[in-house]
Structure 1
Amino acid sequence: MKIALASPPFPTSIADGLAVTEKLVKDAAQRGAAIICFPETFIPGYPLADVEVPKASPDELQAALNNVCQIAADNHIAVIMPMDWYDNGKFLNVAQVISAEGKVLGYQTKNQLDPSEDAVWTPGTERKLFEVGGLRFGITICHEGFRYPESVRWAAREGAQVVFHPHLTGSDIKGKQISQWCHSSSPYYEKAMMMRALENTIYFASVGYTMKYQESTSSIIAPDGVCAAYQPYGEAGVIVADIDTEKATGYLAKRFKPELYD
């Protein structure tokens, strides 16, 4: 099965984000991908310290989601769209899962917020497993996938063959430009991606924005910890990789003995 990761530039508005979504989804579908994932809160855009992102209303977010559903249906491809969301009076950071028919299958909340996000979103409380076209997968969002490996292990133990990891690292304003994947002098993020795959014997698909000063890039890591594909730094676009789900056994995750840590 082919999966795709979208590495767009930071959106200037919801309308801009939707236009980019349509372009990248079409690209992935034409290249045979069954599913495509976008970066963290791509709609309306992650609230970076150096970028002011207006808080969208419930109606604006629902309209955007409806638009993405139509894009998915038009291109016959499943879409994971990370976005802000309102539910029962709570403002959440979620990843919506949309089928190739344009139906919302549910969403995964970001449950472990970065400390800097405590004043922005309410943390979620549940983890979910999804299935699209026979592919079983979980989702862990940015900080929780980088610093809380339990979020990935849970999905692997529940039968996930891949865990998608929408995130944001870096800035368009300041920082260091890196050019070599997983270089020893680069931030730890890409090393963490390798470990999430290797320690669970599943695929780990980490997807971020294209920025001038990225600290990591969109990457698909195989169950043996080898990078199967990554997006060149500073280049917006889509990576598509054919994954062998038979290799995603969850072997090491299933050997975990939780009773030893009670």
Structure 2
Amino acid sequence: MEPNRIVRAAAAQIAPDLTSRDKTLARVLETIREAAAKGAELIVFPETFVPWYPYFSFVLPPVLSGREHVRLYEEAMMVPSAATDAVASAAREHGIVVALGVNERDHGTLYNTQLVFDADGTLVLKRRKITPTFHERMIWGQGDASGLKVVDSTVGRIGALACWEHYNPLARYALMAQHEEIHVAQFPGSMVGPIFADQMEVTIRHHALESGCFVVNSTGWLTDEQIISITPDEGLQMALRGGCMTAIISPEGKHLAPPITEGEGILIADLDMSLIVKRKRMMDSVGHYARPELLHLVIDDRPASPMVTSYPSLETAPTRSTLDEHQTSAFDGNPDQRVAVVRRQAG
């Protein structure tokens, strides 16, 4: 990317529809159109925005959350699916990069997943939150390091983390070491109160400074009616207010526009990519300021799997004719001559 290019970025703070994936998705598509009409080349949506963040799990005890958990399964997004196709089409139609947080269903497990679609509609990144936080562990499975990748896009090199993954310094460093230029941050919003917003601001500004990149952060919003629908308990409702900090931060740690902390809106700011070099000239934490001979990160970025097939096809499976004369199979009558158990005899 040209170092002096200006990229117009947008961060959406809007409310999901807590009754329907399709209705929330319609809000996403509408917001993409609105942001693109304002010249945005990148738009970021909140954490697990489709169909909605599982706010219920923060205020309901596990014994009472089963019904809402099942409903989340029913409305969750498959990847790929008609829903992802719709987002890809919108990105392509409007020539805009889209970063979207979703609840991804993969058979019997839900994941907190971040999707990045390039401006031509190509899905260039699908990653899962590596460690769900506190109540979220009852809802989502764990991701792996295969998603800790920085990807090239029309607007530059993009990395992404969700919520308290930003408190895992090695996860952040993995993206920094891959020279991200724009960091996508996503938080749920409408939780915990003002202290959550304050902590979030410190976190994203620090990452911008340390990484020498832009941070585009999006948080969600709940209306009063939605909060009441989640819990009638007025005391618990307080836990579903505040905590919003939709913001766009420069590599110098500065807000590029006043953040959105209440209500709905689309925050837009221009990213002067030359500021990356300006910052890194002084402090490149993965370059001239690093000491890899003293400290370096080792990452296992292989996809995690509950099963590994040693011989994925008949062509590569050993047969008796290929076995050492001292090896025998426990299944002498195996009709296809593949070896189920191999023992090496003594002597």
Same fold (TM over 0.5): yes
Structure 1 equivalent of residue 163 of structure 2: 142
Match of 1:55 in 2: 72
With over 3 angstroms needed to count, the CA separation of the structure-2 counterparts of 1:15 and 1:203, relative to structure 1, is same
Q: Which residue does the alignment assign to 1:209? A: 220
2:47 to 34, 40, 47: 40
Deviation by residue 1:130-187 (Cα, 9 ceiling, x = unmatched): 1211510100011102x2233223212211111100111334xxx65x5xxxxx9964
Aligned twin of 1:113:
132
* Correspondence for 2:274: 246
Greater per-residue helix proportion = 2
Letter paired with 2:211: N
Between the aligned partners of 2:197 and 2:50, the Cα distance in structure 1 is 28
Question: 2:206 — aligned with what?
Answer: 195
Aligned to 2:180: 160
Question: Hey, what's the Cα distance between the residues in 1 that align with 2:29 and 2:187?
Answer: 20
> Normalising to structure 1: TM-score of the pair?
0.85
Distance in 1 between the 2:213 and 2:44 partners?
17
2:253 to 225, 238, 249: 225
Q: Quick one: which of 28, 31, 36 aligns to 1:29? A: 36
Q: What is the Cα deviation at residue 195 of structure 1?
A: 0.8
Structure 2 segments unaligned to the other structure (5+ residues): 1-6, 61-67, 224-240, 297-347
Residue 181 of structure 1 corresponds to none
How many residues matched?
A: 252
Report the CA distance between 1:240 and its aligned residue: 1.4
Q: Is the 8 A contact 2:220 2:244 kept in 1?
A: no
Pairwise CA RMSD of aligned residues? 2.6
CA contact 1:7–1:231 (8 Å) conserved in 2: no
Give the whole-Å Cα distance in 2 for the aligned partners of 1:185 and 1:207. Answer: 14
Deviation of the 1:33 alpha carbon: 1.3
Tell me the secondary structure at the aligned position of residue 243 of structure 1. Answer: strand
User: CA 1:256/1:90 → structure 2, altered by over 3 Å: closer, same or farther?
Assistant: farther
Contact persistence 2:190–2:242 (CA under 8 A): yes
2:185 and 2:196 map into 1 onto residues whose CA distance is 23
Aligned equivalents of 2:182 and 2:212: distance in 1?
A: 9
**Aligned residue identity for 1:244:** D
Give the structure 2 partner of residue 132 of structure 1. Answer: 153
Q: Distance in 1 between matches of 2:55 and 2:91?
A: 28
User: What one-letter code is carried by the residue in structure 2 that aligns with 1:239?
Assistant: L
Alpha-carbon distance in structure 2 between the residues aligned to 1:128 and 1:214? 31
The answer to whether the 8 Å contact 1:152/1:163 transfers is no
Q: CA deviation at 1:203?
A: 1.2
Check whether the contact 2:41–2:155 (CA below 8 A) recurs between aligned residues: no
Question: Which consecutive residues of structure 1, in runs of 5 or more, have no partner in the other structure?
Answer: 179-183
- Write out per-residue CA displacement over residues 185-242 of structure 1, whole angstroms, 9 at most, x where no aligned residue: 9642211111111122211111101246221311111111111124432221211111
1:101 is paired with a residue whose SS is: coil
- SS of 1:210's partner is coil
**What is the letter of the counterpart of residue 143 of structure 2?**
G
Q: Summarize the Cα distance change of 1:109–1:253 in structure 2 as closer, same or farther, 3 Å threshold.
A: farther
| Structure 1 residue matching 2:256: 3-state secondary structure | strand
How far apart in 1 are the matches of 2:196 and 2:150?
35
Alignment match of 1:256 (pick from 264, 267, 290): 290
C-alpha change, 1:162 and 1:152, in structure 2 (3 Å) is: farther
Q: TM-score, normalised by structure 2?
A: 0.66
Shift of 1:252: 3.1
